[in-house]
Amino acid sequence: MRGWLTIMVAVALASLLGLQQPLFAQTAKIDAASWSAYKAKFLDPTGRIIDNANGNISHSEGQGYGMWLAYLANDQADFEQIWYFTRTELLLRDDGLAVWKWDPSAKPHVTDANNASDGDMLIAYALALAGSAWKNNDYLEAAAKIANALLANAVVKSGGRTILLPGVEGFNAPGRKDGPVINPSYWIYEAIPVMALLAPSDAWGALTEDGLALLRTMQFGPRKLPADWVSLHRQPQPAEGFDAEFGYNAIRIPLYLARAGVSDKELLLRLSSGMTAGNGAPATINLKDGQPKQSLDDAGYRIVNDVVACVAKGTKLPASSRQFAPSLYYPSTLQLLGLAFVAEKHPECL
């Protein structure tokens, strides 16, 4: 994608994001101190983001998040460092998608060559944002390649719905008897319109509509929550072989909805209420009996409910959510995404 087509994508991205100019000088949405603390904890000098709660592995999700956060911090050098590791160590598949798992203790380091579609979307989204903001055509071209690969391999029609397979292998029939199986938290709603600019197709709009429709119908157990892994073989139900739980994956769904500007307060508040334990903190939830399994007290998990309260009720974020002290990779990432969103879209909540 060269010349005029690259410019058209940049202009369209600018329009979509409400920018004044198609290619613009970005202002940081994550403060320098918070980004410095994050990268000191999780960014290896090689450019890999370290998941310190998961054996210090790296994965496509983490690389995509890292690139996105570097963009939000307006740190072009760190973005390029993370992208270098991503494209040289993970973008190894023949279909243009990234392998999902890289283990520093294993030889070879890639221990699972399947992709993770949310990781691919995060990488493409970050590249598109950075390419438009920093006038980098190479980033836009790489983003378009990944978006087209997702469209060709992971965005599929099934049972009258357009869905996102979590990975190219292992989640669909006939290999999976209860397939297709989806992960509702893999729908990154704010990124999907950008994918549609990079790889034009009506399928992207259908993916958003069907993803939201599924979220409204997936009300499992007494707390009426979605599962991390859901079979769509017949009526949606928790998938076989996985714990029937609202778990670590699903915690981010309300944050994704809020960041995307989804204004369905009933949906947001149902998810927020359902995932909250008696102590007021989010929790993983056993869907069969509605009992909390593990309380998630980290500020990075709590901020998800705080963001929902902000957009649905105008409630200010508590001081504990505004103060960033990185601990584990995943909640720390969610906290920065939450803080960046509130600072940009709802400063009245700070």
Could you tell me the two tokens for 200?
A: 């034009």
Q: How many angstroms separate the CA atoms of 90 and 53, rounded?
A: 20
Rounded to the nearest angstrom, the gap between the alpha carbon of residue 183 and the centroid of all alpha carbons in its chain is 11
Sort 1 into a burial class: Cβ within 10 Å, 0-12 / 13-18 / 19+: middle
Asked if 64 and 104 count as a contact pair (C-beta separation under 8 A), the reply is: no
DSSP states of 22-33:
SS--PPPSS-HH
Q: Name the residue type at position 78.
A: D
Catalytic residue of the set 51, 75, 78, 118: 118
- The bridge status of strand 161-164 relative to strand 181-182 is unpaired
Helix axes 117-133, 3-16, angle to 10 degrees: 100
Active-site residue flag, 118 = yes
Could you tell me the two tokens for 212?
A: 């939201």
Q: How many angstroms separate the CA atoms of 228 and 179, rounded?
A: 15
Q: How many angstroms separate the CA atoms of 66 and 339, rounded?
A: 15
Q: Could you tell me the end-to-end alpha-carbon distance of the chain, in angstroms, rounded to an integer?
A: 41
Q: How many CB atoms lie within 10 A of CB 313?
A: 10
Catalytic residue of the set 61, 78, 210, 306: 61
Asked if 67 and 83 count as a contact pair (C-beta separation under 8 A), the reply is: yes
Rg (the chain; Cα; Å): 19
Active-site residue flag, 61 = yes
Residue with tokens 């959510």: 321
Could you tell me the two tokens for 18?
A: 């409400």
Known catalytic residues are: 61, 118
